[in-house]
């Protein structure tokens, strides 16, 4: 059992008979009345994010989860296949347990979160940033600089479409934030 004082981002709790990850939380102590905790919870099975308020000190069941390193191998009709980096076992995982499947490339190191009691995969966490080469984008126009806020679509080696600044060209390697599929920077080699 855990209380609201133990809340942290990424913690997995059982709530209303389902598993939820805490995406965000905030302890609030108003001038009048009892303290409470505002949370954003992500449902493990549906992926839907809900907002919930807990009274301070409420006890919740913390679900035991394990984070294990895996390597992406390939995808087919059976799902997305990953190899456990420690045991070398291959595990097929359904697409709906993975955010941003368009950023997966062969050999990418990821983290698979397992429910410790049932040994079932709950979700796949990609690294915070990945770097890929731009395979297609419209050519930039002379005079376009990094100071402009204009963006154009670009396709990277995995097939993902990313909005990039105008100065990015085909062949440039870019860093992408996997949380929201956004351009971070051009990678210098």
CA distance 11 to 20: 8
Say how many C-beta atoms besides its own lie within 10 A of residue 23's C-beta.
14
Same domain, 56 and 70: no
pLDDT of residue 144: 54
pLDDT of residue 177: 93
3 state SS of 101:
helix
Same domain, 105 and 73: yes
Same domain, 69 and 53: no
- Which of 125, 149, 168 is a domain's end point? 125
- Which of 35, 62, 89 is a domain's end point? 62
Parent domain of 77:
65-125
Report the domain count for the chain.
3
- Which of 17, 46, 62 is a domain's end point? 62
The tens place of each residue's pLDDT in the chain, 189 residues long, gives: 889 889 998 889 999 889 999 989 999 998 888 999 999 998 887 778 899 999 998 999 998 889 999 999 999 988 899 999 899 999 999 888 888 889 999 999 999 989 888 888 888 889 999 999 999 998 866 655 555 578 889 999 999 999 998 888 899 999 999 988 899 999 887
pLDDT of residue 119: 87
CATH code, 30: 2.30.30.30
CATH code, 77: 2.40.50.140
Q: Which residue has the tokens 């805490």?
A: 22
Same domain, 40 and 22: yes
Same domain, 121 and 71: yes
Same domain, 164 and 118: no
pLDDT of residue 92: 92
Same domain, 14 and 34: yes
pLDDT of residue 109: 95
Provide long-range contacts, Cβ within 8 A and 24+ apart, for 137-140: 137/164, 137/168, 137/169, 137/170, 139/169, 139/170, 140/166, 140/167, 140/168, 140/169
């Amino acid at each position: 059992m855990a209380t609201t004082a133990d809340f942290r981002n990424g913690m997995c709790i059982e709530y209303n008979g389902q598993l939820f990850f805490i995406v965000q939380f905030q302890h609030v102590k108003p001038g009048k009345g009892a303290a409470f905790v505002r949370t954003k919870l992500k449902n493990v099975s549906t992926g839907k994010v809900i907002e919930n308020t807990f009274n301070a000190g409420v006890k919740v069941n913390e679900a035991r989860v394990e984070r294990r390193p895996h390597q992406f191998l390939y995808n087919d009709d059976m799902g997305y296949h990953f190899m456990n980096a420690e045991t070398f076992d291959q595990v097929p995982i359904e697409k709906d347990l993975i955010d941003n499947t368009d950023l997966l490339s062969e050999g990418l190191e990821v983290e698979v979160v397992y429910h410790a009691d049932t040994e079932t995969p709950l979700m796949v966490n990609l690294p915070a940033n990945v770097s890929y080469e731009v395979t297609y984008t419209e050519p930039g126009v002379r005079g376009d600089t990094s100071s402009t806020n204009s963006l154009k679509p670009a396709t990277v080696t995995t097939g993902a479409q990313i909005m990039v600044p105008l100065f990015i060209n085909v062949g440039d390697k870019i860093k992408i934030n996997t949380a929201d599929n956004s351009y971070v920077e051009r990678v210098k080699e």
